[in-house]
Structure 1
Amino acid sequence: MSDTEDDKAKAGASRARQAAEPDTGGIAADRLRSIVERIERLEEERKALADDIKDIYAEAKSAGFDVKVVRQIIRLRKQEPAEVEEQETLLDLYRRALGM
């Protein structure tokens, strides 16, 4: 094949690729689509989990528990014991300073 024929073949192959793929400005469209779809799935899962958590808080409330206190307990359980103890010590100190 001559250089001219080779150039024509390469140009034809390039046009065929461009026709098969939309102009994406150098972005890997398949990779981007995959990432976006994965994020969308996780967002849906997060919403479902949030709805489940909301239902459990409603259950706690209907069972007579103070939801505000339950939330505080959950927040405390996420912390390190030393951090909780330090906060409780400061809270007690501040209460005594205010005569509470």
Structure 2
Amino acid sequence: MAEGTVAAEELRLLIERIERLEEEKKAIADDVKDVYLEAKSRGYDTKTMRAIIRLRKMEAHARQEADALLETYKAALGIE
């Protein structure tokens, strides 16, 4: 019985930690949203900012590969 109680207590603590982290994640997401709204109010294009952030997250070689593939597709479709 004691072992089941310990497991239940441990499970409860883990769930509570996850719940706290989810709350923090939501708060951070709200903060990010506020920064985008601020940027938009200052005249920046937030869609482009999001694209830049996505690119900065990529490894250099992955970004170069994606750029090359994009250029290949654009050339195939006659887009320049």
Same fold (TM over 0.5): yes
Residue 92 of structure 1 deviates from its aligned partner by 1.3
Identity percentage of aligned residues? 57
Residues 1-100 of structure 1: pairs in structure 2 closer than 5 A:
26=4, 28-100=7-79
Deviations 1:22-65 (A, max 9, x none): xxxx3522111111111111111001001000001101111111
Quick one: distance in 2 between partners of 1:40 and 1:97? 49
Question: What is the TM-score normalised by the length of structure 1?
Answer: 0.70
- For structure 2, the 5+ residue unaligned runs are none
| Matched residue count | 78
- Which of 1 and 2 has greater Rg? 1
Query: Which runs of at least 4 in structure 1 moved beyond 6 Å after TM superposition?
Result: none
- Equivalent position amino acid for 2:23 in 1: E
- Bigger relative CO (Cα 8 Å, ≥ 6 apart): 2
**Bigger fraction of residues in helix:** 2
Quick one: distance in 2 between partners of 1:36 and 1:99? 54
Question: What is the TM-score normalised by the length of structure 2?
Answer: 0.85
- For structure 1, the 5+ residue unaligned runs are 1-17
